[in-house]
Structure 1
């Protein structure tokens, strides 16, 4: 037992060192410097969209797919409209994806003359709902850059200025990031911050930008800023039409097309509350976890066992050591627990989460294991997943 706990502690400390290094490599939205050598060769000479006579081509199209978002769309549009644009021409388009709660009317009232509200077409066979909505938005947009936002996101006043600065510096491709997550219920606090945890612990951030390998990629569908040419080259949402985890699928498609992808720290400019209760957390993560791992059961099993060993087993061992009085085992178990808390705090700092969230790591892992198992069962049983009133396999 002592040797096992010592090995776990060593692995946790190595993970901590990587997490600290990795979190420091996240570029901040709006602060990137132009790096021509890092761009594809043809990106430096790519022509900008021609400006028709008598018209002003938008620098940016803000595109918001909305299905039954009555609780969110007003606040979302209010935050977008309050953003500084530094004199740039920006268009805002909302697509009402056949909502039944008055989303379209609320969007029209909140957006006013600066916002166009479109009625979404019926979902075709073989399409995921969000992919279809985003494809319609892209077709209607006229901007050089397309910013896909979820309706539950809220922008800070300088968000669009920062986005345009990063876009100008990068020149083409995709810029994405994880908004600061707001949580209210316990399962939200346990599960939602793990998005940033998994990135900080396992994905070398510099390789997202520097490597063309599509395995080195991460994205958040709440904030996807993509150049129009890059969107066309990668096939857009039409090319990933059936994907449940559309953000990751689009990011991989951008990389496979030879376009740059940047994962940025956008927490200073964005925030969102993805879910509002335990049921929503369970359904959302259940839909995404297994699909996000490529529907590979052995990979899912390996990830969950790894997390259980590093972050749950030391807690069980510490309880056993307290009962039996094995002090050396208790010391090593406590060291592993403390190291895990330090890793969680590193990730939570990157995501601007409260300090005390780091103490929730063992419980977070238990919840993740339970949802991950349910995600796998939903696929192999044929039951599928339900989201936004639609059922997917």
Structure 2
């Protein structure tokens, strides 16, 4: 058994080295780009005058978010930017459209969403309608729960124009309030930093090397057209990842950037929302492959929970001398979590929650699998998804 924990400790040490290196590879939004991305299409000419940018916000029952979102957008510096702001009210039942109109005034256009056609999922249909109505050279799909800092749009366009086209996305800084949020939400960044080589998002044409966050998706109009836009992914449950893969398959560049200094959001507000939100996405996000899900769960439980159980067992049975190697594994695992939390600008003490976080994530993942396996699907914002 000692050898098992020696292997686990060695794997965690390698994981820590990778996580520290990988987090350092995230380009910051607004910074220059040192290497060219592989392209199969000529990059659009970089604008030297006024840049045309459309902010596109799909909103369904976002009465609690839409006013603050629009206020943050309207407070952004727009020197040299021809800015268009559009909100699509996707059949809200809580007055979202009226609140958006009052908050945005004449500077914001409010669209009424059309009925959801057969074969489409709600958010993709809303985004497709916004893109159809937009006039900008660059399209920024923004979720209603995102809050921008004043320099966010300038930084985003700086990175976009340095790239020349394609997609720029990133994970906003995640704000949390309840314990379930603190346990689960930061694991989005954890999975990226621990498993996805960030440079390959930009430097590889392989669509398997991709990550995206639907709350912040900045795409050039030509790239959006070449990849087929949201129509090409109309039935994909995890729409942000599907769109990023479509962009890559079209030969367009993709950047996963550190946007935590320019955007923040609180995705969920209670345990039920966390459970339902992640339950809807986890199994679909790994391609509905049960053996892959089982493998990931076994790996996570072995690396991050088994050493904790061994330490507790050693202490309870009065054999603290056998806990040294498992304790080292626990500490290294916590250090791995801290590396990802630092990349996401999370509080230092969140790393101590790792064992409980992995347990919660595992339970949600099993629930996600069961939702697909049973055929019952998932419910989100009044709509049912299979």
- TM-score if structure 1 supplies the norm length? 0.96
Query: Are positions 1:25 and 2:18 aligned together?
Result: no
Q: Deviations over 1:43-98 (max 9, x none)?
A: 23x3689xxxxxx9861100000000000000000000000012311100000001
Deviation at 1:39, TM superposition (A): 4.7
Residue 233 of structure 2 corresponds to 240
Match of 2:282 among 281, 284, 289: 289
SS of structure 1 residue aligned to 2:42: helix
**Who is 1:125 aligned against?**
118
Alignment counterpart, residue 149 of structure 1, candidates 132, 138, 142: 142
Aligned mates of 1:338, 1:39 — CA distance in 2: 40
Per-residue Cα deviation, 1:209-242 (whole angstroms, up to 9, x for no partner) = 0001011000000000000000000000000001
In the alignment, is the contact (CA less than 8 A) between 1:173 and 1:227 conserved in 2?
yes
Three-state SS of the structure 2 residue aligned to 1:89 is: strand
Matches within 5 A, 1:243-258: 243-258=236-251
> Paired residue for 2:37?
38
Q: How does 1:167-316 map to 2 (within 5 A)?
A: 167-316=160-309
In 1, distance between residues paired with 2:297 and 2:32? 35
Give the RMSD, CA atoms, in angstroms.
1.4
Unaligned runs of 5+ in 2: none
Q: Which secondary structure state, in structure 1, belongs to the residue aligned with residue 248 of structure 2?
A: helix
For the pair 1:76 / 2:69, whether they are aligned, the reply is yes
The whole-number CA distance in structure 2 between the counterparts of 1:171 and 1:31 is 14
Provide the secondary structure at the position in 1 that maps to 2:81: coil
Equivalent pair of 2:51/2:82 in contact (CA under 8 Å): yes
Q: CA deviation at 1:323?
A: 2.0
Check conservation: 2:174, 2:267, Cα contact below 8 A: yes
CA distance in 1: counterparts of 2:327 and 2:319, whole angstroms: 12
Matched, 1:4 2:1: no
C-alpha offsets along residues 163-199 of structure 1, whole Å, 9 cap, x if unaligned? 1101110000000000000000111000000000000
1:61 aligns with 2:54: yes
SS of the residue corresponding to residue 226 of structure 1 reads strand
**Alpha carbons 2:46, 2:161 under 8 Å: kept:** no
Taking the aligned partners of 2:108 and 2:188, their CA distance within structure 1 comes to 32
Select which of 363, 373, 381 maps to 1:370: 363
Describe the SS at the equivalent of 1:225: strand
In the TM superposition, what is the alpha-carbon distance from 1:7 to its structure 2 partner? Answer: 1.0
For residues 318 and 176 of structure 1, the distance between their equivalents in structure 2, rounded to whole angstroms, comes to 40
Deviation at 1:42, TM superposition (A): 3.2
1:53 corresponding residue in structure 2: none
CA contact (8 A) 2:169 2:255 kept: yes
Q: Cα distance, 1:33 vs. partner?
A: 2.7
C-alpha contact 1:66 1:150 (8 A) present in aligned 2: yes
- Which runs of no fewer than 5 residues in structure 1 stay unpaired? 50-55
- What's the TM-score, normalizing by structure 2? 0.98
8 Å Cα contact 1:150-1:221 kept in structure 2: yes
- Matches of 1:305 and 1:115, distance apart in 2: 49
Q: Which residue pairs with 1:323 in the alignment? A: 316
Secondary structure, counterpart of 1:276 in structure 2: coil
Q: Aligned-pair distance for 1:328?
A: 3.8
1:165 maps to which residue? 158
> In 2, Cα distance between the equivalents of 1:48 and 1:24?
27
Is contact 2:38-2:205 (8 Å) kept? no
Distance in structure 2 (CA, Å) of the matches to 1:212 and 1:92: 32
Shift of 1:151: 0.2
Distance of 2:34 and 2:309 partners within structure 1: 50
User: 1:43, 1:172 within 8 Å by CA — same for their partners in 2?
Assistant: no
Q: Distance in 1 between matches of 2:50 and 2:106?
A: 17
